[in-house]
Structure formats: C-alpha cells, structure tokens
C-alpha cells in the first residue's frame, strides 16, 4: 500500500512530476490540502535539454532534479514512486502498481509520449528521445556507431553507420541536428583521426513544408539556413513510411541507408486508462474546459500536454510545451482553493511568452509575441531562458559551466558509453519506447 496517513484535509492526488504537476504542488504549499504526488521516476526531467545529453554536451544529472528535494520542506505533501495503471472515476480512486489511493480531487499531469502514428516497424527500429534513459541510449548508439565504423572495411556499411536520420523538424529535431553537426565539425575529427568524418551525414526529414512549422515564417527560414550552413541535409514535404533497421523509405520514394533513425516527428498525450473514448480528443489528449476540468467531471482535472482545452482560436488545444503546463498548474492551485471554499473558479487564459530553438553555436531563432529575431543575440536569450528555467542552483551552475567549457574549448565532455546500447528485439524495443 502507499501508506499515506488519513487526514481531515481534502486530498489532492497529482499524477506526474513534470512542469505542470510540480507547479501545482508548489502552489498548494501550506494551503490546507493533503497533496499526494505520484510519478514513475523519482526525479523531474528538464526535457528541453535532453538533446544535449544525447549528444554529449551535458551529463544527465544536470538536467534532472530529485522530486523529493523539491517538496521536502512542504508540510502535508507526500511523494511516491508509482506506475499508475488506471483511474476508477466512479469510486474516486487511483490504482497503481504500489497500491490504491482514494482522492477528493485528482489532477492528471502525465505529459506526453512519442507518437509513431501506428507504425510498428518504425517504433521497433528507431530511437525516441522523451526521457533521460532514451537520451543516454542515443548517446551510446551514436558513439558505438563510430567505434564500429573504425572496424569495418565495407564502405557501404561504414556510410550507413555514419548516417544519422532525424525524422521531424520541430524544436527537438532541429536542435538535435544542430548539435550533431557541431560534433561533426569540432569533436569527431579529433576523436577519430583515422575515420573520414566528412562522410558523416545528418539528414532531417520533415513531413510539412517547413522546419519549425509552429514558429514564424522568418524563424523557420532562418533555422533552415543555419542547418544547411552547418552541412545538414533538410528534406521537407517528405513523409517517412518505413524503417527496417537498415533503410529509411519515404512516401515519394526516397531511400536512406542508415543504422540510426531518431524519431522526433510527433507526440501524443499520455492518457491513463479509465476514461470514456468520448473524452479523449485528437492527439490522445483529455478534453477539458476552461478550468481544466475533464469533461463530465468537477473533481478530476488535466493540465499540460495531456489536456486539450479546445477553443475557437485553438482547435487542437494549447501547444504541448512547458509554459502552458506551468501556467495551468499555477491557476489550478488557485481554483482548487476556490472549489474547496465554494467560490467561483477562474478561467484559464494562456500568456504566450513566445517560442525559441537553437541550431548550434551562436545560432538560434526566437519568436516573441511582438517580434522575431535570430543569430547570436537569440542564442544568448535561448541560453539565459533555459538556464533560469532549470530547478536548483547546482543544476544551473553545472549547465552554465558545461556551456562555457564547451564554447571555449569547442568540446563536449560527456561523450561516454556508460551503458552500451545494442539494437534490441521487438519486445524490449517497445518497452524502451513507452
């Protein structure tokens, strides 16, 4: 059992220790609730910097923060490492692998997971990058490929080992491609002097007509220019239909011989079992009203990536990014107090603070509500915003120090194969990508 003490305070169960779940838990501090926070990991992951772990720029510990340390001084908050299996909405209880817990209010903040759009072959053979273990797997595989390339005399196999295909040109795909290109330019020629690193290819394949399709036309164009200047091949209006572990095929008939495909082409809400199909929107997100209440419930809420607050201006709901999750979590804390006290709830209004992406050294694009800019200043703004968004002084310091070192020395220190990664069978691959 979860061993949560009984209390005369209303119990709020929060599933998920991501941006939204932690924002809510922190705002409920000393507000006369019993808060139970559940997460399958004992740490919060700063997902925007996962690509730097995957490319050896940062160690995983610098973008992870123990959830218990966040809430350790909060009276009335309990944290449990748990894999939630289903919600019993009728009896108001959460069923997890460690036991069952009843709730007065339930908040689902489970975030999102990789969407392979039903293509099991791609899911089996490609790499996802949504978690720290997945990023470490990518780092190991990239480095192992170069070690293998040293050992083969088969030129075709060598090229396949040194060809990296990234499917999806959103911020994650673009930033990952830029980081790999920086490695190709500054790091790999020194590490592998007996390999012709010029043969290394980085291909970004985008189904839409432009990279960073959620950003402005100007930023999209500049990002593509930055990528191409770094030697990245950008393919737009190309839909990947298959990858068998050796060959990538697209709808138009293009083929890429590669050992490594990194899938960043889509995400979907990580919905928990227990809800009617009518409540689940496109993108596998729970339909919520302007107070983040799941449709049909007054005591069950969803925030962040897993919540679809559909409006006339946002037919797909809010963007699946950190800011909407944080803002929804903060407002929901106020609304839970209002609900408990019998007062009217406040509607959620998203304050769009803009979006940004970096494409390697001194290169980034930033879209703010009123204007757009790119280049060195955008890169500096990107670094500052991400540094300030990390939890904990230690993580801020470690990331800042690593960035300074990498910038001055043209290096990436964390290129370590700590846990060797070999391509797994279908069962373990599916498990790895969940």
Which active-site residues does the annotation give?
Answer: 175
With contact defined as beta carbons under 8 Å apart, do 252 and 207 qualify? Answer: no
With contact defined as beta carbons under 8 Å apart, do 71 and 24 qualify? Answer: no
Give the whole-angstrom CA distance, residue 212 versus residue 93. Answer: 41
Q: Is 309 helix (H, G, I), strand (E, B) or coil?
A: coil
418, two tokens: 């700590």
Give the whole-angstrom CA distance, residue 91 versus residue 65. Answer: 34
Residue 394 CA: distances (Å) to CA of 117, 319, 408, 424: 39, 30, 21, 35
> Which residues, 6+ apart, have CB-to-CB distance to 229 below 8 Å?
none
Give the whole-angstrom CA distance, residue 11 versus residue 299. Answer: 11
Give the whole-angstrom CA distance, residue 408 versus residue 268. Answer: 38
Give the whole-angstrom CA distance, residue 177 versus residue 195. Answer: 21
Dihedral angle of Cα 313, 316, 320, 323, to the nearest 10 degrees: 20
66, two tokens: 């123990």
Q: What is the DSSP string of 226-290?
A: HHHHTT-EEE-S--EEEE-SSEEEETTS-EEE-SEEEE-S-EEE-PPBSS-GGGEETTTEEEB-T
Q: What angle do CA 36, 38, 43 make, to 5 degrees?
A: 120
Length of the chain: 434
Give the whole-angstrom CA distance, residue 385 versus residue 379. Answer: 10
Give the whole-angstrom CA distance, residue 63 versus residue 134. Answer: 14
Q: In whole angstroms, what separates CA 247 from the centre of its chain?
A: 26
H or E element, residue 348: none
Give the whole-angstrom CA distance, residue 210 versus residue 217. Answer: 8
């Amino acid at each position: 059992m979860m061993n949560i003490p009984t209390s005369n305070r209303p119990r709020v169960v929060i599933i998920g220790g991501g941006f939204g779940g932690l924002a809510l838990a922190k705002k409920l501090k000393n507000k006369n609730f019993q808060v139970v926070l559940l997460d399958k990991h004992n740490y919060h992951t700063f997902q925007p910097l996962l690509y730097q772990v995957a490319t050896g720029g940062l160690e995983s510990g610098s973008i992870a923060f123990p959830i218990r340390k966040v809430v350790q001084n909060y009276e009335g908050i309990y944290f449990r490492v748990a894999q939630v299996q289903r919600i019993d909405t009728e009896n108001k209880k959460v069923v997890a692998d460690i036991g069952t817990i009843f709730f007065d209010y339930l908040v689902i903040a489970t975030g999102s997971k990789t969407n392979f759009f039903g293509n099991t072959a791609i899911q089996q053979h490609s790499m996802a990058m949504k978690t720290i273990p997945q990023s470490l797997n990518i780092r190991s595989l990239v480095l192992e490929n170069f070690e293998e390339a040293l050992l083969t005399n088969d030129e075709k196999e060598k090229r396949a080992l040194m060809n990296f295909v990234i499917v999806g040109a959103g911020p994650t795909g673009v930033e990952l491609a830029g980081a790999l290109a920086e490695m190709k330019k500054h790091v790999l020629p020194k590490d592998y002097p007996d390999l012709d690193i010029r043969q290394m290819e980085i291909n970004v394949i985008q189904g839409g007509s432009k990279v960073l399709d959620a950003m402005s036309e100007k930023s999209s164009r500049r990002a593509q220019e930055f990528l191409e200047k770094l030697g990245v091949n950008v393919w737009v209006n190309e839909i990947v239909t298959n990858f068998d572990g050796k060959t990538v095929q697209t709808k138009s008939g293009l083929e890429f011989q590669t050992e490594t495909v990194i899938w960043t082409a889509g995400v979907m809400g990580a919905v928990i079992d227990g809800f009617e199909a009518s409540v689940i929107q496109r993108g596998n997100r729970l339909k919520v009203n302007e107070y983040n209440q799941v449709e049909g419930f007054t005591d069950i809420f969803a925030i962040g990536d897993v919540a679809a607050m559909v409006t006339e201006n946002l037919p797909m709901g809010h963007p699946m990014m950190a800011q909407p999750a944080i803002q929804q979590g903060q407002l929901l804390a106020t609304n839970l107090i209002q609900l408990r006290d019998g007062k009217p709830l406040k509607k959620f209004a998203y304050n769009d603070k803009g979006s940004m992406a970096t494409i390697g050294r001194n290169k980034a694009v930033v879209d703010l509500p009123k204007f757009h800019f790119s280049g060195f200043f955008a890169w500096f703004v990107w670094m500052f915003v991400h540094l300030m968004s990390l939890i904990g002084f230690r993580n801020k310091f470690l990331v800042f120090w690593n960035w300074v070192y990498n910038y001055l020395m043209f290096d990436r220190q964390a290129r370590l194969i700590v846990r060797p990664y070999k391509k797994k069978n279908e069962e373990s691959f599916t498990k790895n990508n969940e």
